[in-house]
Structure 1
Amino acid sequence: MNNRALEGKTAFVSGSGQNIGRATAVQLARMGCNVVVNGSSNFAAVEETVAAVEAEGVASLIAMGDMGEEDAIRTIADAALSRFGRVDIVVNNATRRPHKPFLEMTEDDWHGVMDVALTAVFRTSQAFLPGMVEAGWGRIINFAGMKAIKGYNEGAPISAAKHGVWGLTKALSTEFASKGITINTVSPGQIRKDNKTEDDPARAARIPAGVMGQSQDIASMVGYLASHEAHFVTGQMIAVNGGETT
């Protein structure tokens, strides 16, 4: 794969202040993309991502905002389109994963997860797909999660939301495949946080590969799905989990 294969493209990565989101933003920058970097509250973390993105010789834009809020997404989209004209690659990484027994869950708990993990995918897709259709090229890459797809104990809304993301991925992939647009979902397994220097031994022991994944493992898959080489891959959920079954 050409290291600068996406030169001149623009990517939006939600929740890109740290971990998988940051690694993905930097991976796409390394491939030549300008990157719109998003965070909900930690501005310092977003600035660190921007510095890493710009070190790859591309442009960036800080777009702070809660992905669970319609107005915030509209503001982010307007800023991105005003700066770059079009967003070619959308990576819907932002999510919420609260743990609470189902019978103690409130309506606000439910909708708080759904708005970020599922409805935001609907909103970003509606915001950026028109430009992709006009260009005849685009990529939307969503996230699920091994535990969410299996069924999250005390995490009913995240499991429901991620199954919804998978359904939306399949539906949009069929609708937009003829437009040169691919839409896929990446389902990460157990990924070590970037601030951890060693794996959790108990967690690593449950993984056939014997190690936990790292953020770059997921970012590399996103980079492939965003590339021209992946033009015939659409409507798929791709597990990156060291051999654990989903």
Structure 2
Amino acid sequence: MTDRPLAGKTAFISGSGRNIGRAIAAQLAGLGANVVINGASNRQACEDTAGLVHAQGTESLIVMGDMGRAEEIAAISKAALDRFGTIDILVNNAAVRPHKPFLDMDESDWHFVVDTSLTAAFRTTQAFLPGMVDKGWGRIISMTGMKAIKGYFEGAPISAAKHGIWGLTKALATEFGPHGITANAVSPGQTLTEGRDGTDPKKLASIPVGFMGAPEDVAAAVTFLASPASRFVNGQMIGVNGGQAT
């Protein structure tokens, strides 16, 4: 495998202005991929991510928009396809995780979370899959999460959405594997994202390696799944959690 195995390919990463999404963008660019960067509102953060992509010698496109809204996803998808022709690597990363007691929720609370994560994954996958099928190659990688799979306390919508993404991943793996397209999920454990304390002894005690992961650790798993080296990995969920029990 060359050191730029994704040269000529394009990745779309939802929620890639900061944290894990930004790290994924930088690492995929390092393997030669062009990157479509998405954020809901913070354009400067997306510009900063674009700078990391350009430093790797590849192209970027910033497409701002709310992944929870169908009309905005349609515009985002059109802009990406108009610029690059096809999206070869789709990373469904955008999510929101508000906490609220289940009996205090109304349908707007539910749809805010589910639409941003699960329904957005459905919409972007439908938008970009035809090009992958035409090429006979593609990678669909979706983020789940340990607490999402176990069950968030006062977080029913995100747990439901992330379980749904895992089901969608397995269905896509079965249906589109024959077309040269793999679908997998990555489940991050406790990760040092912005504003998170990485020294809390109670949190560290539950992680066998003794430290929280960095966004780059999660991105490394995504990058592997996006690469040609992962061609026989399909319909799987990779935990990046330092050995923490799930």
The equivalent residue for 1:165 is 165
| AA of the residue aligned to 1:146 | M
Let me know the Cα RMSD of the aligned residues: 1.1
Q: Does 1:77 align with 2:74?
A: no
Is the CA contact 2:198–2:211 (under 8 Å) kept in the aligned structure 1? no
Contact conserved, 1:28 with 1:223, CA < 8 A, in 2?
yes
Q: Which amino acid aligns with 2:28?
A: L
1:53 aligns with 2:59: no
**SS of aligned partner of 1:116:** helix
Is the Cα contact below 8 Å between 1:192 and 1:199 reproduced in 2?
no
Q: Number of aligned residue pairs: give it.
A: 246
- Residue in 2 that maps onto 1:38: 38
Cα offset, 1:120, TM superposition:
0.4
Which segments of 5 or more consecutive residues in structure 1 lack a partner in the other structure? none
**Map of 1:1-246 to 2, 5 A cutoff?**
2-194=2-194, 198-246=198-246
**TM-score using structure 2 length:** 0.98
Closer, same or farther: CA 133–185 of 1 in aligned 2, 3 Å: same
Shift in Å, 1:194: 4.5
The answer to whether the Cα contact below 8 Å between 2:186 and 2:238 also exists between their aligned partners in 1 is yes
State which drifts further: 193-202 or 92-101.
193-202
TM-score by length of 1: 0.98
Shift of residue 106 of structure 1?
1.1
Over the matched positions of the two proteins, sequence identity in percent amounts to: 63
CA shift, 1:84, in A, is 0.5
Q: Is the 8 A contact 1:194 1:215 kept in 2?
A: no
CA deviation digits over 1:195-241, x for unaligned, max 9? 66843332112111110011000100000000001011010111110
CA shift digits 1:53-100 (9 cap, x unpaired):
111100000000000010111111100111001100000000010000
Q: Give a deviation string over 1:165-188, Cα, whole Å, max 9, x none.
A: 000000111000000000000000
Tell me the secondary structure at the aligned position of residue 187 of structure 1: strand
Helix, strand or coil at the partner of 2:11: strand
Q: Unpaired runs of 5+ in structure 2? A: none
